[in-house]
Chains A and B, each alone.
Chain A
Amino acid sequence: MSAPVLSVRDLKTSFFSQRGEVQAVRGVSFDVHPGEILGIVGESGSGKSITCMSILRLLKSTGRIMGGSANFDGQDLMALDQGDLRDIRGNKIGMIFQDPMTSLNPTLSVGEQVMETILRHRKATRAEARARAIELFELVRIPSAAERLKSYPHEFSGGMRQRVMIAIALACDPKLLIADEPTTALDVTIQRQILLLLKDLQKRLGMAVILITHDLGVIAEVTDRIVVMYGGLVMETGPVHDLFATPKHPYTQGLLASVPDLRDDTHRRLTPIPGSPPDMAHPPEGCPFTARCPHAMQQCQAALPPVFGEGQGARCWLHHPDAPKVAGVNEVAA
């Protein structure tokens, strides 16, 4: 396999306030390879966005990176100064966020905003930047591209604004695109237009993509590999087909069992995960899933499990060689 585009190791981020420390990210590691779409999935508050904001070093002032590294293009992003980072963000790394309205400037035409990104990172005349902006609008399939450059964000629908965001993110041919819930605010028919567009562009441009979502359907449809986060940690990681076919972590299993099967007519009762996620101001000492896990053991409460397994790794004590056998988890069900 070729060298990863991005290699994150033991990343830790906390927020500090009068009420104390919130450990949002507690030692996250993963790789993103050239030309792949890596999905990050997990429930609200599990640390997906803060992981990416930490990688991009875009944390609010109350947030602090407590350790770890993120190697991109031969450099550790954690060691760079803000000047170097500004050269990378929007240039070699493109970004798309959930709500395009808050990321776009309401007082500038959308064309101006695309051109601004190009002019910041490239030696180009305004005419060249404008030509490139039209090309980008055509790429993301905004009809009548040249005329629409003059429009303002509020004149666009949510789906169209997200296309503008994608155009800006792609303006400088990034090696890596980070998309945080890019379709969550959109309707299903528009979501599908945007997801198919993203996947098509990713293939044609050969870039790597990190796609954050809480929607297992979106994950299954567009990603190649996934990272499952819970309580600020990576609980399981592996190729998307393997994780859906044979999830190894009890949390991944619970997550997959809790969504209705669209092809099932029988009104089968859903299987929820009982309880709710841990409070990251007081993270449990052991496995963060202990309180909700149907298989929890003494050991789970006592110590944080390491990641077991190559290729498809799971952070769960049941995959320790000495663990008792549990059907469907560490023993193939009969």
Chain B
Amino acid sequence: MSEPYSSLPTPGKVSEAPLVSVRNLHKHFTVGRNLFGPKPTLRAVDGVDLDIYPGETLGLVGESGCGKSTLARTLIRLYQPTSGEMLFDGTDVAKADERALVPFRRRVQMIFQDPYASLNGRMTVRDLIAEPLEIAKIGTPESRTEKVHELLARVGLHRDHANRFAHEFSGGQRQRIGIARAIALEPDLVICDEPISALDVSVQAQVVNMLEDLQDQLGLTYLFITHDLSMVRHISDRIGVMYLGKIVELASNTDLYRRPSHPYTQALLASIPVPDPTATRPSEPMRGEIPSPMHIPTGCRFRTRCPMATELCASTEPALKDIGGGHLAACHYAGDAVTPRAA
């Protein structure tokens, strides 16, 4: 993109400036070894353009290995981007050093997939939740305990739970503890990386309802990463679809499911198992498998699996363009009334 901060077309209802604005973001890893040449490069995030607006829930979906977690870790500056621009509330955070990042780190928090692994089992619930406050040197030990009790109430746990250890809780309760910890500093943006994948179906709904309530009460903005295509539709205002390190489609949740415009999104949505035995389903699965992020196809990165790929797709990479009403798609033929093959 030539003008990095020129605004992307925005969907009708949001008019504010974006909280997060990312242009042509890359995060590459060098992996393995090669005795006779440069080390091979794995392009985990490979040119992402994305805006996140205050108060919205932006869903991010895509298959395993497409770069969702790497994008999340880059967005919270756990990783230094390889290249590209990243604005948070108008401030450039892509190249900022640790000192300059202090206020940013308070305003952006993350909830992880595995509530078992992400909490230190030797710490009490009180200490786990109070830790971010201590690191940020906020309050006294007494006021922090007070705050922990308030946070426990917010996530539907009891103040008596404060003195117990994380391993004494069920998966759903541990995820609540993780959420209390994430909101302790009253962040603006919470990045949820598969927050319900490890939970039982009946417990997932408890956590999702709670995340929705907290958003209403605290005005949070969410980036919600998941591979659950039913849940993402329920929770998101807008949804981005990622394929091999890039956003290939982004639209409001209703638009995306009603008018999926990228062939990858179409195939992805057609693959969702529907919990209704009377539903009629397409009988052909999508062909092929995802190429390696070390060998991303030239031109359109989806062309090796795409049922309507042409010569243009092999030679030229399609840009993420507005096909109407803020619905973005990176396909040469997206938005066309007639696809080349169907014609």
Q: Which residues of A contact B (CB under 8 A)?
A: 43-44, 157, 159-160, 187-193, 195-196, 214-221, 240-241, 244, 254-256, 258-262, 265, 267, 269-274, 276-277
Contacts and interface: CB of A to CB of B under 8 A. Distances in A.
A270 B281 contact: no
B203 A187 contact: no
B201 A221 contact: no
B254 A193 contact: no
Given A157-B289, A189-B285, A269-B209, A255 B201 contact: yes
B200 A44 contact: yes
A258 B281 contact: no
Contacts of B204: 258, 272
Nearest to B234: A260
Closest 3 CB pairs of A and B: A217-B273, A272-B205, A260-B234
A271 B206 CA distance: 8
B87 interface: no
A193 B208 CA distance: 29
Nearest to B258: A265
Contacts of B234: 260, 267, 270
Contacts of A271: 205
B283 interface: yes
Contacts of B212: 269
Contacts of B277: 220-221, 240-241, 244
B64 A187 contact: yes
B63 to A, nearest CB: 4
22 contacts: A43-B200, A43-B201, A159-B289, A160-B289, A188-B229, A188-B273, A189-B268, A191-B271, A192-B271, A192-B273, A195-B273, A214-B201, A217-B275, A220-B277, A244-B277, A254-B202, A255-B202, A261-B230, A262-B233, A272-B202, A273-B203, A276-B200
A166 B134 CA distance: 53
Contacts of B257: 262
Given A187-B227, A191-B271, 4 more contacts: A216-B275, A217-B275, A269-B212, A276-B170
Interface in B225-254: 227, 229-231, 233-234, 254
Interface residues of B, number: 42
Interface of B: 63-64, 170-173, 200-206, 208-209, 212, 227, 229-231, 233-234, 254, 257, 267-268, 270-279, 281, 283, 285-286, 289-290
Given A255-B202, A259-B230, A262-B233, A188 B63 contact: yes
Contacts of B276: 220, 244
A215 B286 CA distance: 20
A217 B205 contact: no
Contacts of A272: 202-206, 209
A196 B285 contact: yes
A43 to B, nearest CB: 4
Nearest to B172: A276
- Which of A159, A189, A274 is most buried by chain B, counting CB atoms within 10 A of its CB? A189
A43 B273 contact: no
B273 A259 contact: no
Nearest to B231: A260
Nearest to A264: B234
Nearest to A221: B273
Contacts of A192: 270-271, 273, 285-286
A215 B279 CA distance: 16
- Which of B170, B171, B289 is most buried by chain A, counting CB atoms within 10 A of its CB? B289
Given A188-B229, A270-B208, A244 B275 contact: yes
